[in-house]
A and B are shown apart, each in its own frame.
Chain A
Amino acid sequence: MKKVLLFLSVLLLAFGQVWAQSQTIQGTVLNAADEEPIVGASVQIKGTAKGTITDVDGKFSLEVEPGQILTVSFIGMTNQDVAAADGIVVFLSEDTKQLDEVMVVAFGTATKKSFTGAASVVKADEINKRQASNVTDALAGQVAGVQGLSTSGQPGTTSSIRIRGIGSMASSNAPLYVIDGVPASDDDVSTLSNADIESVTVLKDASSNALYGARGANGVILITTKRGNTRDAKIKIDAKWGVNQRGVPSYDVMTDPAMYYETFYQALYNQYGSHDQANDLLTAANGGLGYQVYSVPDGERLIGTNGKLNPNAKPGNIINYKGAQYTLLADNWYNELFKSNNLRQEYNLSISGSTDKLTYFASGSYLDDSGIIENSGFRRATGRVNVDYQAKKWLKIGTNMSYSHADMKYPEESEQGRSSSGNIFYVSDNIAPIYPLYIRDGQGKIMKDANGITMYDFGDGKTNGQLRAFMGQSNPASAISLDKELYKKDIFTGKWFVQVEPYKGLKFHANLGLHYAGVRYQQLTNSFYGQYAERGGIAYVEADRAIALDQQYLITFDRKFGEHHVDALVGYENYRMTSSYVYGSKNKLFSPDIAEVSNAILGPNTGSATDTYFTQGILVQAKYDYANRYFFSASYRRDASSRFAPNKRWGNFWSVGAAWDIKGESFLQDVSQIDLLKLKVSYGSQGNDALLYQSGSLNNHPWADQYTVSENNGEFATTLDYKGNADLTWETSYNFNAGIDFAFFNERLSGTIEGWRRRTENMLYYQPVAASLGYSFLPVNIGSVSNAGLDLELHGELIKTRNVTWGVYFNMTFFKNKILKLAPELEGQWIDGNRIYKEGEAMYNLYLRDFAGVNPANGNSLWYVNTKDSAGNVIERGGVTETYNSADRYATGDILPKVYGGFGTNLNVYGVDLSVAFNYQAGGRILDYSYMYFMHGGYSNAGHNWHKDILNAWTPENTNTNIPAVNAGDPYTNGLSNRWLISSNYVSLQNITLGYTFPAKLTKKAHIEKIRVYAVADNIALWSARKGMDPRQGYTSAYNAYYSPMRAISGGLSITF
């Protein structure tokens, strides 16, 4: 009230003063984009307190003195200064200035200028372009320092995001997600509709995320949902329809049955040296392939002495088994197993607006993202409402609630990266091209069983007497059509806040955040075919419940005293997460398709458990700036985590930061080419308590020895399951960041360059202990790792006219990761399987045998060995051996990419918009397991497909090759070595969007503010070192046993009223 009175009195005063010379002028304020009037724009006489606002027609009238300048401003528009004149028309255009851009930061907002830390913002526009069902998929490549790994293309799953390197060895490297100020889970993120997102801020350094002390060590991703901001209600409708396709092709594997038989023959021939024996074994069940899918005339062999298929062989072999005839015919499993029709549809609707005291936003969305294989897909319906209400001048309350229901059909075997028979991706890529998918009768017709179900060939000998050497007794096609695996998720997130401002600048905040996730998982393994058919099928149901409550009580003080600006915060936060599950299963199903436990009668198996995680902390932050030029910030947080023993719970985290707005200095005042030049530096520490089990799941009690209670014939048995360590405490990261934010040439070129170093101390780490102790690892805080790098973000506006704009962006992150210290017992080095950890060297350093090529004399693989000179000194790689087990292993050096990032462009020409986005990484290597398996020599791998490269294997005629002879007697033809390391460089075309927005003049007549039609394609292409190899899967290895990433192509329409 005071404010209004003050304003009115100033107005009155001004009115009195200009009584004599005044002249009344009239003018209009229009939006430059559509030439529509701007309502409520402020028109002020520069240098005075006198002004007015525009009416509903954008008109204003004001008494001015001659020569006075008017400043016209409106929220979200660039201010304009114009000479006062009667009848003037002022065009305001949308404000794209970054200087005063307000960004969401930890526990509040800050202007970009005053911010001392490292943070990048991705705005709604960029996110909404992407069709990713999950916002995490849209982040990589958009922001420097952010790397996305996605092992799975299953719709609805979350990418793993890594911010500025890998700081931990045994604890989580995942960033903290915070949605509207409340810590969020992966589930929350995956059920968030992209259309509801206003912006995503990635906090990368200590001064930006130290306030999240407990969990901020791996960076923080702040997601802000939309709010209402227009006086007039805004209604937005967006709909798109499209298709999903496999985004990464298969490896270049054999598809010709003859080629496969010939190669396997060669492998057997090289083993036994006998033409007859090789032919006999070729289609034998034991050690051979089984299945002869060619018919050859009686008395002739399938493979001739020249190693080629008998020219008289014909595809399709009719066999007799138990009095019936069957045809054995090779199928192309890939073509049969992958769906051709994969509709993707998405609808979003929102309404938002604001009044003096109230802002509101409500939205609903529906997404149906079908998978590229049967029985996989993601459907989600989300509703969100948020309302803020200024109840009293000193009291503001608000809420933001969302409910989401998702159905996820999720054949999980496809997710595990397992070489399992249930993994359709693995099987279709890896099965030799000779095997039938279906059972065919003597006429070659695909058979149906008594239930009318298509009969698939399980390779178990039961129907046609044929035993398949690869994944016998299984058929993923049958499993995928008859089995069920689905999740039903109900997720509610709510935030409520009260904000009291008893005194100007002083505010008390109470924020309550609630997350509830109810997940019901159902799995049905069918009763007709496959492993559990004999048991009558199995139904398994699991209900998970996770509830998290976040409470924040904050006091903030924000006040300007002349040139001094103080912004302080004191607060308390706690977070409690309780997760529980109950599961049950029974076998012998009554109705074959109902995945409920009570639908079955035998073998009940049940269990349940609850686990809790709690953390609390006090936080303090002070920000100060002088003359809006020198900025200082400091923060401190003291946190306790239930994951540590009582005396080790508390950790102290802090940060300091400073920024200097050089442009604000008088010497740059007049350099018009420079719009922003800001120097910033920060240092601080954050904690990590997220130690993982070896299996990768979170360990909530790593400090305690953990036993499992099991049954031993009616009595309790408590076996040690996990050796804990009561001395365990916080892993701490020390983060240094220094950078320059700049904008030149009227903001046509802007960007940030930052150098950073992140040193993780007291690493939560599994110290290997001798397995003879009865356990293999002990969690300890020891050792340290550093990640250092350089982030660069550039935005350029190459063309900027009223009707044509063309922008480009580019970002890159160089980084290097190094182990500084390991546990002293390790004496500087630890070999863990195929990895070697050495002080002073990179964390991702493989320890492999060194492939030395092929012995041209006999086709055997050679590996390097160490030798000794006469003085007994070891000479590394001094010799070679043909014996795999005698070969020495060597460190490969750092295999992580040296640089990664993204680039792209946006073009707008008379309403047509086009944007293209690429991601890339370079300078790294990756172990290509798929290729390794595809290059076997036949040993123990009968029926496993080959990469066509094997055709260049050594033979007496082809001795100049790097591929050893195929030999079914040699287990090491494809023995693990650095031979399988390949460059992990890639460029991926992530997104293309093409749209057209109808001219506002046309649409306004239909009371439509905006109509845009568009086409969008995501995940379009990947260029990597080998066809089929996707380096985005992980840091160390690629393996094609995961749900293949999907390409999505859609057309859509969005309308704003």
Chain B
Amino acid sequence: MKAINKYLSVLLVAALSFTACQDWLNAVPEGATKTADQKADAAGANPSAASADIAAIYAQFIQLYAGLGDLGYSRHNDFGYAAICLLTEAQGMDFVGPNIGYNWFGFSDWNSIRENAFQGDGRSVYIIWNEYYKMIHACNNVIELVDPKAPGAMKYALSQALAVRAFCYLQLAQLYQFTYSEATLDKPCVPIVKDRMTGEEQATNPRASVKDVFALIKSDLDYACDSLDGYVRVDNGSVDQAVAFGLRARANLVMKNWAAAAADADQALKLSGATPLSIAEANEPGFADAAAHNVLWGNIIVETNDIVQTGIVNWPSHVSIFFTDGYTSVGATRHIASALYEEIPATDVRKGWWLNEDLESPLLNASIYSLQKEDIQGNPDNVYVNLKFGTGDRTATGDGAAAADWIIMRAEEMWLIKAEGLAKSGGDGASVLTQFVKTYRDPAFAITRDIEDEIWYQRRIELWGEGFAWGDIMRLEKDIVRSTSTNWPEAWVQDVKAGRNILLLRIPQSEIEANKGISDADNNPVDPF
């Protein structure tokens, strides 16, 4: 009978554990990964968790392996918006990288970047596409959460999401179709993914026309400009009303609404109070601090961010010569094209943003980085290398230095938009431009070019490396001329006339495979160099 007791107790244990197990089946991750339920629960308990969806939009800008991480790839040119800026800059004519073993931003070979299969440099095309649409997804997430009629904080959240969504479409539009004009209005641009789309709509989503894409950009920004009134942000990392106006100024510039562009830019400057860097301030490496007085909007990047923690998968690693642990220190440095450099007058403070032929720059003398002077000048390959971009903590190496903000919008750009908008709408853009350059950059400045070219030239110098060059080339329909510079690597001296199909990125193969609304025939044509 003892035996019976024994096995009864065995059964009892079994029965007990069976009931305990129902809970165990509901296992959840405990750590940085949260399920949707956990996220919702936390938002109920923790007010700052509730705003995490909005923060997610901005976090997406600086996400490590943002484009390809969920495909299982960790590419070192995949660190968010700044990486896209560098990729697009490299397609132009002013931003030169060497042709070495680390060509992460050697996105300069026309044939290889026009691949749309997931291989080689084609992967970089995927990074751009995936990252922008992830940002759009993050925006749509917020838009879906918020009742458009909600007041206060909710309205501000909605407005920010709409503004960033517009920003993304504006960027995409300039990569996938020729610029906004009567001739292109009905041409296919990119698929519009909006909030509250059905699965069916998502799966059969054709390329929207340029007209429709810009209509969405416009309406999203109109709402944001209105509704962000009164919103006070904690730092320059998010979109406020001034930024919304700045974004609409950009959109209007592309849409050739010249007067509106000028007015919006002016409004952005007024609302933000941002002022350009002075000549003295511009005589130092920088562009790494979103809190600076010339900044309207930037990605705020701190030491705990993954891109910083990797050490080398971040923008200072790829751009700043002062960053000693990254790709620039292995020779993957970023230079200005010699042709552009030679055009900068000696009186312009910006001439010092790059080393000259003799590896000299006043910036290096004045700089807090003077300790690195010898190393930088000691390398003959550093001719024309940029000193423009500094690092985060100027005294730190490593994470501190990589914790450098990426500037998305600054006062100088608004001045230039205002000048262009006025000039092209019959106003006195010339004097705005002269005032800006003389006051802040070159006291000896006088306009020597056709006004459009003069402004474009100023933009190329002022905004070099910041992700504007491609948009301007497309918007102004300029030829790409590399052959007049002496420092383009031989392999990439490939001039391209405006209007060639090769200028358009091709929609990734994966999108065509999965999106029944776009077929191979709908893609931008292959146009080998």
Which A residues are within 8 Å of any B CB, using their own CB? 271-272, 281, 285-287, 322, 394-395, 460-462, 467, 469-474, 498, 500-502, 508, 510, 531-532, 534-535, 551, 553, 572, 574, 576, 580, 587, 602-603, 605, 607-614, 616, 640-642, 646, 649, 693-696, 700-701, 704-722, 724, 768-777, 825-826, 830-834, 883-886, 889, 939-940, 942-944, 968-969, 971-972, 976
Once the chains bind, are B55 and A715 in contact (CB under 8 Å)? yes
Residue in B closest to A467 when the chains form the complex, CB atoms: B331
Do residues B52 and A642 form an inter-chain contact, with CB atoms below 8 A? no
Q: How far, in whole Å, are A707 and B29 apart by their CA atoms in the complex? A: 11
> Is A716 a contact of B49 with CB atoms below 8 Å?
yes
Which A residues are CB-close (under 8 A) to B381?
A: 285-286, 461, 467
Complex contacts, B24 vs chain A, CB 8 Å = 574, 576, 612, 614, 616, 642
Question: Could you tell me if B32 and A716 are in contact, using CB atoms closer than 8 angstroms?
Answer: no
Residues of A within 8 A of B119 (CB): 833-834, 976
Interface centre among A470, A501, A534, A700 (most CB of B within 10 A): A534
* Contacts known (A701-B35, A713-B237); A722 close to B70, Cβ less than 8 A: yes
Residues of B within 8 A of A944 (CB): 101
Contact B99–A286 (Cβ < 8 Å): yes
B11 interface hit (Cβ, 8 Å): yes
Q: Are A500 and B3 in contact (CB under 8 A)?
A: yes
Asked whether A883 lies within 8 Å of B29 as measured between CB atoms, the reply is no
> Which of these, B11, B13, B100, B202, contacts A770 with CB under 8 Å?
B202
Q: Which of B274-315 contact A (CB under 8 A)?
A: 300, 302-306, 309, 311-312
| A705 cross-chain contacts in B, Cβ below 8 A | 35-36
Q: Tell whether, in the assembled complex, residue A642 and residue B397 are in contact, meaning their CB atoms are under 8 Å apart.
A: no
A776 touches B510 (CB 8 A): yes
Selected from B17, B58, B331, the residue in CB contact (under 8 A) with A472 is: B331
Taken together as a complex, chains A and B put the C-alpha atoms of A691 and B89 apart, in Å, by 40
In the complex, A869 Cα to B71 Cα: how many Å?
Answer: 39
Q: Contacting A774 at CB < 8 Å: which of B98, B136, B330?
A: B136
Q: Does B352 contact A (CB under 8 A)?
A: no
Are A574 and B21 neighbours in the complex by a CB distance under 8 Å?
yes
A706 contacts B490, C-beta separation under 8 Å: no
Per-residue A-contact encoding for B23-55, CB less than 8 Å = 1, 0 else: 011111111111111010000000011011101
Q: Are B33 and A609 in contact (CB under 8 A)?
A: yes
Could you tell me the distance between the alpha carbons of A834 and B509 in the complex, rounded to whole angstroms? 11
Complex interface: chain B residues within 8 A of A322 (CB): 378
Q: Is the CB–CB distance between A776 and B70 below 8 Å?
A: yes
Could you say which of B29, B39, B510 contacts A609, with CB atoms under 8 Å apart? B29
Report the minimum CB–CB distance from B270 to chain A (whole Å).
26
- Do A472 and B36 have beta carbons less than 8 Å apart? no
Which of A395, A535, A831 is the one whose CB lies under 8 Å from B513? A831
Residues of chain B with a CB closer than 8 A to A700's CB: 27, 29
Report the nearest A residue to B102, measured CB to CB.
Answer: A472
| Bound Cα distance from A883 to B112, whole angstroms | 11
For residue A640, give the distance in angstroms from its CB to the closest CB of chain B: 6
Known: A287-B491, A706-B29, A777-B70. A971 touches B111 (CB 8 A): yes
B124 interface residue (CB < 8 Å to A): no
List the B side residues contacting A572 at CB < 8 Å: 14, 18
A768 and B398 within 8 A (CB): no
Q: Are the CB atoms of B508 and A771 closer together than 8 Å?
A: yes
- Please give me the residue from chain B that is nearest to A572 by CB atom: B14
If A614-B24, A722-B70 are given as contacts, then 13 extra A-B residue pairs at C-beta distance below 8 Å, sorted by A number, are A285-B100, A287-B100, A602-B399, A603-B398, A646-B25, A700-B27, A701-B28, A706-B35, A771-B514, A831-B509, A883-B528, A885-B111, A969-B490
Distance in angstroms between the alpha carbons of A721 and B39 in the assembled complex: 13
B59 at the interface (CB under 8 A from A): yes
Q: B325–A534 contact, CB under 8 A? A: yes
Contact A715 B51 (CB under 8 A): yes
| A707 with B33: CB separation less than 8 A | yes
Question: In the assembled complex, how far is the CB of residue B436 from the closest CB belonging to chain A, in whole angstroms?
Answer: 30
Q: Contact between A707 and B39 (Cβ–Cβ < 8 Å)? A: yes
Quick one: which of A551, A642, A716, A719 contacts B26, CB cutoff 8 A? A642
Interface contact A943-B101, CB-CB below 8 Å: yes
B303 touches A535 (CB 8 A): no
Q: Are A769 and B514 in contact (CB under 8 A)?
A: yes
Q: Find the B residue at minimum CB distance from A581.
A: B31
Residue B151 at the chain A interface, CB threshold 8 Å:
no
Pairwise interchain contact A613-B331, C-beta atoms closer than 8 A: no
B156 at the interface (CB under 8 A from A): no
Contact A693 B72, beta carbon cutoff 8 Å: yes
> Contacting chain A: which of B125-133, B260-268, B423-431, B448-456?
B125-133
Pick 5 A–B contacts, CB within 8 A, sort by A: A553-B10, A715-B51, A716-B55, A776-B71, A832-B513
Q: Which of A287, A649, A944 has the most CB of B within 10 A?
A: A287
- Contacting residues, chain A, for B27 (C-beta < 8 A): 611-614, 642, 700-701
Let me know if B72 and A287 touch, CB within 8 A.
no
Q: How far is the CB of A1012 from chain B (nearest CB, A)?
A: 45
Which residues from chain B contact A776 at a C-beta distance below 8 Å?
Answer: 70-71, 130, 510
A968 touches B491 (CB 8 A): yes
Interface residue B191 (Cβ < 8 Å from any Cβ of A)? yes
Contact in complex: A707, B55 (CB < 8 Å): no
B156: min CB distance to chain A, Å: 14
> Contact between A286 and B514 (Cβ–Cβ < 8 Å)?
no
Contacts of A460 in B (CB 8 A): 329-331
State whether A287 touches B489 (Cβ < 8 A).
yes
**Chain B 503-529 per-residue mask, 1 if CB under 8 angstroms from chain A, else 0:** 000001111011110000000001010
The answer for the CA separation of A769 and B21 in the assembled complex, in Å, is 36
- Which of B137-145, B210-218, B337-345 binds A? B137-145
Closest-by-CB residue of B relative to A694 is B72
Contact status of A710 and B59, CB under 8 A, knowing A502-B7, A551-B17, A939-B491:
yes
Contacts of A712 in B (CB 8 A): 55-56, 58-59, 237, 300
Shortest distance from the beta carbon of A184 to any chain B beta carbon, whole Å? 20
| B400 within 8 A of partner (CB) | yes
**Would A718 and B491 count as touching, CB distance under 8 A?**
no
Measured in the bound complex, the distance between the Cα atoms of B511 and A884 in whole Å is: 21
